[in-house]
Structure formats: C-alpha cells, structure tokens
Amino acid sequence: MKLNLLIITILLAIKLFSQNIEYATQTFKDTRIINGQSVENTTQGTCTFIISHRFGDIYQNNPSSILYNFFGFSGGANMRIGLDYGIRNWWEIGAGRSNLDKTYDLFTKLRITRQSKGDKNFPVTISAYGDIAIVTDTSNALLDTFFVDRFSYTGQLLIARKFSERLSLQLMPTFIHRNLVETAEEKNDAIAIGGAVRFQLTDNVALNGEYYYTLPDQLPAGFDNSAALGVDITTKGHVFQLQLTNSPYLIPEYFIGKTTGKIIDDDANGKFDLNIRFGFNISRNFKIGGRQY
C-alpha cells in the first residue's frame, strides 16, 4: 500500500513539473482597446453589456464652435449598445446596434494561442476576429435594389505581446468587404494594418493608443485613417474607457472604411478644422453560467 502511494506521488510530481507553464494575463484591461478589439475574451459563462458613445467634432471652423456645440455634445453623435458572451474562455460571441445607418452587427472572436513561458514558450497571443454587419436604414436610396447590398464583413488577426506588467502592444492586420459602396471611386475591399499600445499607469488606470493604417489606393480622396487615444479606469465589475478619436464609427467596416477628415485639417483658404471627438465605452460583466472549479 505504501509502495502504491509512493508511486502515485512520484507520478503526480512528474506531471506537475512537466506542465510548468505560465500564461500572460490581462494583456489589455478590456475586450476592446478603443474602437477595435483586443486579444482579451469575455470569460466562459460571463455576459458583458457594453455602451459605446462618440460625440460630434469638438472644433468646427472657428473657436466659437467649441462652446456652441458644447465640446461636440450637441450633435453628430453615434452610439452602440452591445452584448458579448463567453461560450468558452477562448471563444466569445457578441452582437450590437449602432444608431448611424441603424446598423446591426454580429461577431465572433476565438483565441488561437496564448503568450506563455516555461515548458511551453510562445511569444505572443493570437486571436481571430470576424464580424458581419447589416444596414437597416430605409432612407438610403442606394440600398433599395438588393437586400444583400446592406451587408459588410470584417476579418482580423489580433497579435499581441505583454512585454511587462505596464507595457503591451498589439498588431491587427485587417480585411474589410462592403457589398455596396457609395461611389465608383471606392473599392468594395480594403486592407489595413492596425497597431495598438497599452501603458499601465496604476493598478486601475491605463493609457491606450490605437491607429489603423489603410494601404495605399484602398480608399478614395477625403477618407482618412482611424486614430484614437484613451484612458481605461477599472473598478469592480466595470471598465470605463474615455477616448479622443477622429472617427464617429464603432464597427471596423466603418471606422476603417468610412472615417473622413484629417485630425488637423488646415486648407489653402485658411479654413481650420480639428476633427477630434470625445467618446467613451462602459462595460459591465454579469456571471450567468456555472462557476468553474
């Protein structure tokens, strides 16, 4: 009997030592960085309710517009209400509705591999993201011909590395397709490369930056790359994300493919525009599945 116990103890010890793997956690504080997705997933059995809001431009043509539009709060706003759910710790689904073009979106995100060290050493976390969006605004005459014209799609690889407890970086090669575009100059497909950074200031406060570079000849004149800076404030059960961005849109088909206006636009006629909007994301988690042991 004692011999059997000794053998079992040795086998368990070998198994434990052979699985000396340490995975990176909280590469980013939330499932979203600012406009785009992070490699983080909603955990299994958890439902996340998200409210995202982008106000109008803070500055339009002259300094008086700042107070007249009350820092962009008066008009041109866009809001998305969404619900995400963790089917597994590595598999998340979600859906939402944006008021611009009355757009509904449905997405899924799967973690392919995790950054780890020890017996299993892998330098980055990689996730795959895909979504489908449909415009339901019946006032758009361009969409009256075929129902399929209302659809657009996005595919992304999210590649992130947590370099330290403070610094994380993420790369986001992206492909978007719109079944219908507004002008002949626009292409139905666009390819972009996104980059993001997170710097943790304190236990509860982090700074984020995000930029999507669209490859040349992908978008017509007048369209610009999406850029954003943000602050994450983490509390128990909530993450508050405050941002400044040049895009009013909240799904990748739009903030990559339809953002217009440079952040600072000073033309030959002396017209000066500052295309910056204040926005926020608020998320709240609800545990609705069984507790894992």
- Positions in the chain whose pLDDT score sits under 70: 1-19, 59-75, 140-145, 237, 261, 265-274, 290-293
Looking at residue 89, its pLDDT comes to 93
Q: Say which residues have a Cβ less than 8 Å from residue 120's Cβ, sequence separation at least 6.
A: 21
The predicted pLDDT at position 272 comes to: 59
pLDDT the model gives residue 14 = 47
The SS3 assignment for 22 reads: strand
For 2-280, CATH number?
2.40.160.40
Buried b (16+ CB within 10 A) or exposed e, 192-223: bebebebebeeeeebebebbbbbeeebbeeeb
Q: What is the dihedral of CA 253, 124, 84, 206, to 10 degrees?
A: -90
Q: Token digits for 4?
A: 């059997």
- Look at residue 70 in the predicted model and tell me its pLDDT: 47
Euclidean distance between CA atoms 247 and 262, whole angstroms:
10
What pLDDT shows up at residue 159? 98
The tokens describing 72, both together, are 């962009």
**How far is Cα 168 from Cα 76, in angstroms, rounded to an integer?**
33
To 5 degrees, how large is the angle CA 159–CA 161–CA 166?
A: 140
pTM score over 0.75: yes
